[in-house]
A and B are shown apart, each in its own frame.
Chain A
């Protein structure tokens, strides 16, 4: 074979290999997509219509959805209030043990959620010192909406802190430096410059936290079975009445999950937001 012939052969061989790899990649990607979409699609197709109908007829479902939305919103608010300063410090300051703090904050994301529920029960349950103290003050955690909020916050706040930290890190600290030299004390520079520049990222972080809180089951079911949030209600109907009864609740939960998804799309940060120079 001539050198030119060998070159053409190699090129043809390379094109064919590239095509095969593309086909395999597309196939694997499609299978993965199908695996993720098919169950939810089947769920919504099977129970969506009756689920929407039950919103009007099933008072327990309505109560449960309302409880879920309220507790998730309160958990999100508490998480944002405590998590924002923490995220800011992690994004801006250098200090000894920072990596350890960051790792500890991620821990609730890694442990199985029923284990998280057990851990919370140990700290906040009736048998614990804190739980007893709270009970004495008239605050019951386990078996109450407060327990739901605690469980939701425990499993979802790390997501908020991580995303908020990213949002702060995307804002060049020199904006703050300039604001400081223009007369702003640290807090005012944060409020007037860093906060508006990271606002989209922070709201997106809060939406992610809210969505995670709404979908929580494992930790909540340990801490507060009743009153039932939506995830516990769908589990309860499945174990008590079977698949058919659980389907409308499960379907309506899946449809409602679209709300934070759409919100996140709308909040996608502008390219270079906060990085303007």
Chain B
């Protein structure tokens, strides 16, 4: 388990301020943030490489704030493996291991057996990262810190390495904290996501919460939400048969209520606990569906508009729809776009559920 409380650390002029979060034992935490946000500084402070100026670091319930790195029972893997170039691959993997046979088994597990006898200099970038991972796992750490370990790899090696780390994390019960600037990676890997910017935690929680229920519009935009609108909220009383609020019973039972959000020409219906007044509405692009005909269910969040831009990346396509001067972005499969024969200038209906609207 990793528990960080009110942590302050300084490197040159950069400062980490009041960092607080926890990754429960055996879970996978992901720190997301842009370059220069303090991700590596945070990992190195947890590792004991950088001494904090204030706050505490607890690993597995033990206060290690003043302990040197070698007594923290953790491993660290940097973006570049930092394999010891004067040692063989085998000696690198076994560097800190008590049990050489276990180290060898881990090397085999990550697929490093094939180049076990090669000199470090002869390895490719992907191979180096695998060896670095094996070296870190071989000391049986209780906590593993990963500093963008896959970012220098080609897509295929990256997928392979991710899978291996995930599997070893589960098998060995290691608590992992990985930093990345790749939001997809955070969603793919994390049980807990920590959003870091300019040395501060903006939000921490399950990745789904961060992506779907960002606490501020800044977080929403930071995490790639394309539909973030400023406006005003007021309470609203729907009819019993209102399709928009079907399935919202659980939320309504928890004290959430139907709300109406107005932003320019848009009137959006939502379910939430936001106070009346100024607010922001966030709708993930994946939650918006497009159709050529008006949806017969008479869903309230349905808007007629004109397609002004279509951008395709592989099997996914983002369609921007102009609704009375406001742009709504929908993410569809490329196949759906073809089936609907969507093209710039075409008239479409964009719709989404009230449950898909997050007010913050």
Contacts and interface: CB of A to CB of B under 8 A. Distances in A.
Interface of A: 172, 174-175, 177-186, 193, 196-197, 273-274, 276-277
B82 A180 contact: no
Given A177-B44, A179-B95, A277-B80, A197 B69 contact: no
A175 B70 contact: no
B96 interface: yes
The 4 A-B residue pairs with the shortest CB-CB distance, nearest first, are A182-B96, A277-B80, A276-B85, A180-B69
B218 interface: no
Interface in B42-83: 44, 47-49, 68-70, 72, 74-76, 78, 80-83
A179 B354 CA distance: 53
B194 interface: no
A181 B70 contact: yes
Contacts of B234: none
Interface of B: 44, 47-49, 68-70, 72, 74-76, 78, 80-86, 95-96, 120-121, 135-136, 139
Secondary structure at the B interface, as helix, strand, loop or mixed, is loop
A178 B70 contact: no
A186 B80 CA distance: 22
A172 B85 CA distance: 12
A277 B123 CA distance: 11
A276 B70 contact: no
Nearest to B128: A277
Contact of B81 (A177, A185, A277): A277
Nearest to B138: A182
B72 A178 contact: no
User: Which of A180, A182, A273 is most buried by chain B, counting CB atoms within 10 A of its CB?
Assistant: A182
B82 A174 contact: yes
A178 B85 contact: no
Contacts of B49: 177, 180-181
A179 B70 CA distance: 8
Given A182-B95, A276-B121, A175 B84 contact: yes
B85 A182 contact: no
Given A177-B47, A181-B47, A183-B96, A277 B68 contact: no
